[in-house]
Amino acid sequence: MTELDAVVVGAGPNGLAAALTLAAAGLSVRVVEGADTVGGGSRTAELTVPGVRHDVCSTVHPLAAASPFFTWLGLQQRGVELVHPEVAFAHPLDAGPGGVVRRSVAETAAELGAAGKAWSRAFTPLVERADAIVPAVLAPLRGLPDHPLRAARFAPIALRSAEGVAKRFDDPRAQALVAGVSAHAMMPLDKLPTGAFGALLTVLAQSVGWPVVRGGSQVLVDVMTDTLREWGGDVVTGQWVSSLDELPRSRVVLLDVAPSQLAGIAGDRLPKRYRAALRRYRYGPGVCKVDWALSGPVPWLDPAARRAGTVHVGGTFEQVAAAEAEVAAGRHPDEPFVLVVQPTVVDPSRAPAGRHVLWAYCHVPSHSTVDMTAAIEAQIERFAPGFRDLIVARSTLTAADEQELHPNYVGGDINVGIATLRQMLFRPTVRWDTYSTPDPSIYLCGSATPPGGGVHGMCGMYGALSALRRVFGVRSLPDAPVPASSRMGAGAIV
Ligand SMILES: Cc1cc2nc3c(=O)[nH]c(=O)nc-3n(C[C@H](O)[C@H](O)[C@H](O)COP(=O)(O)OP(=O)(O)OC[C@H]3O[C@@H](n4cnc5c(N)ncnc54)[C@H](O)[C@@H]3O)c2cc1C
């Protein structure tokens, strides 16, 4: 049997990014995926009624828009169209207008009244330096970034909790915005690094935006897969891997899997001590997700929320903080913080005329089997009376179901590992190069490595660069082969 240069286990965005980086260096690569379709957390499927296409996991792609990996790949030149809602994210409140984050700091600040000045003071310097800050944050936090002084401007806000950041604004709308966006960290809002999570996502909203992929997130991974094949790589689906012995022979194996899975798959190819460290890796809370097909757009009372791609639902800073604290304490909140995404606001192609797609999730304790549909719908109804009357069909996944469907999301943790400071720096174990393992032919390339969860491909790219450096003597990112369309002089496809 011929030996391949590399096998990648898992065709999520990071596994595909790893395979593309290796293929660009001229290596022979095969990706082995357990599910019947590629994409992992970036798939799209008819989850409710025929003709209505739902993103199974990710929909909102600020990280893809900002990712140096996707810039390298030329995502948009290859046919992925990122479409932007007028409002990146909205946060309705019970009393009066809620908070709204738009495409620029000036537009956002203009709607915050007296607090607009403080908002502008906090975010203008960060957005102006986004070109230095974003690549520094989306990289392993172990060396100096390319532009250390410009990137360092992020440190003061990043070293605060969401609570600390919110105190800078004497306005309930601005404080609620900070709560909602920082709660993506899935941690109590008085803990580090919730401020960093919120600040990064807010900077992205006001620079690259919070777009969705026209046609659904599947388009993004399908384009990655087609490009990999164009570059000579190969993808096999429907083969779950439980041992390295099941894989074709190769010089290296890269795994887009959770650390607990790596320990089992590699078995005694890895030393006992390292496997024990993998098993000590800590996962965060889970999510319970609901997808709906609707007969009309969500009737938000707050008009800004009707034009938003994402709506953070849960009320004031204090109410969101209380809900997240409940989850951290192992309880299911009666009034959870709910993250709502409404892609058809900007991409009607996902459903037949007159139909709308909506998804929402709330955080729940790890491994929860509790169906939170009623609590989630009650929270949406609180800010959008009449919402329930529009429901045509729904599909719910509890946190336990999430893990069943996506083995990386241990206990339903969609970030594959809690974002404590230690696990941000050393993910998944304490090593200088955390993509490598004690076996020089085995590498990690999924979101349990830096920079963590999200569709950005950076874990895959850095995992591949580690293998390229250690085994193949390639010391820098190879050039991406030029897209076929550009070679023919057709220009960008979009
Ligand atoms: C409900 C939900 C909403 C989300 N929303 C967003 C969002 O809006 N924006 C965003 O940026 N991110 C979002 N995310 C997170 C995002 O989907 C993930 O961070 C991202 O997909 C991680 O990519 P990955 O390649 O590391 O892992 P995954 O996407 O999980 O891919 C791993 C792949 O490996 C395969 N695999 C695992 N084990 C094996 C095995 N043993 N054998 C063979 N194959 C295996 C899996 O089937 C999967 O295809 C969301 C996630 C969820 C669950």
pLDDT tens digits, 10-56? 999 999 999 999 999 999 999 999 999 999 999 999 999 999 999 99
Residue 247 falls in which region: left (phi positive, over 0), alpha (psi -120 to 50) or beta: beta
pLDDT for 488: 40
Give the tens place of pLDDT for each residue, 305-327. Answer: 999 999 999 999 999 999 999 99
- Considering only residues 488 and 418, tell me which one the structure prediction assigns the higher pLDDT: 418
Q: Given this model, what pLDDT does residue 491 score? A: 30
The strand pairing partners of 290, in sequence order, are 360, 396
Amino acid identity of 445?
A: C
Average pLDDT, the chain: 95
Dist. CA 42 → ligand 1 center (Å):
7
3-class DSSP state of 43:
coil
Helix (H/G/I), strand (E/B), else coil: 375: helix
CB of 449 closer than 8 Å to CB of 282: no
C-alpha to C-alpha distance for 27 and 21, rounded to whole angstroms:
9
What ligand 1 atom has the least distance to the C-alpha of 452? 19
Mutate to test the pocket of ligand 1, among 237, 364, 455 (most ligand atoms within 8 A of CB): 455
Q: What is the pLDDT of residues 239-272, one digit of tens each?
A: 999 999 999 999 999 999 999 999 999 999 999 9
**Range in 43-47, 458-462, 482-486 the model is least confident about:** 482-486
Q: Which atom of ligand 1 is nearest to the CA of 59?
A: 8
Which atom in ligand 1 lies closest to the alpha carbon of residue 35?
A: 47
The answer to whether the beta carbons of residues 12 and 40 sit under 8 Å apart is yes
Q: What's the CA gap between 364 and 341, in Å, rounded? A: 18
User: What is the four-CA torsion angle of 19, 24, 28, 31, rounded to 10 degrees?
Assistant: 10
Residue 273 has pLDDT above 70, yes or no: yes
Q: Convert the pLDDT of each residue in 88-115 to its tens digit.
A: 999 999 988 999 999 999 999 999 999 9
Q: What is the pLDDT of residues 189-244, one digit of tens each?
A: 999 999 999 999 999 999 999 999 999 999 999 999 999 999 999 999 999 999 99
Indicate if the pLDDT at residue 349 is higher than 60. Answer: yes
- Per-residue pLDDT at 388 exceeds 60: yes
Beta strands in 247-335 (DSSP E): 250-255, 286-294, 308-313
Q: How far is the CA of 156 from the centre of ligand 1 (A)?
A: 31
- Whole-model pTM over 0.85: yes
With a 6 Å cutoff on the Cβ, whether 33 touches ligand 1 is yes
Distance from C-alpha of 284 to C-alpha of 402, rounded to nearest angstrom: 14
Q: What is the pLDDT of residues 107-164, one digit of tens each?
A: 999 999 999 999 999 999 999 999 999 999 999 977 788 888 899 999 988 899 999 9
183 ligand 1 Cβ < 6 A: no
Substitution site in 21, 58, 359, 444 for ligand 1 pocket (most atoms within 8 Å of beta carbon): 58
* Joined tokens for residue 201: 């996502």
Evaluate: CB of 11 within 6 angstroms of ligand 1.
yes
Give me ligand 1 centre to Cα 315, in Å: 29
Confirm or reject: Cβ of 447 under 6 Å from ligand 1.
Answer: yes
Rounded distance from Cα 480 to ligand 1 centre (Å): 24
Ligand 1 in reach of 256 Cβ (< 6 A)? yes
226 burial class (0-12, 13-18, 19+ CB within 10 angstroms)?
middle
Ligand 1: distance of its center to the CA of 116 in Å? 37
Angle at 325 between CA 164 and CA 329, to 5 degrees: 140
pLDDT at residue 158 in the model:
86
User: Is the Cβ atom of 10 under 6 angstroms away from ligand 1?
Assistant: yes
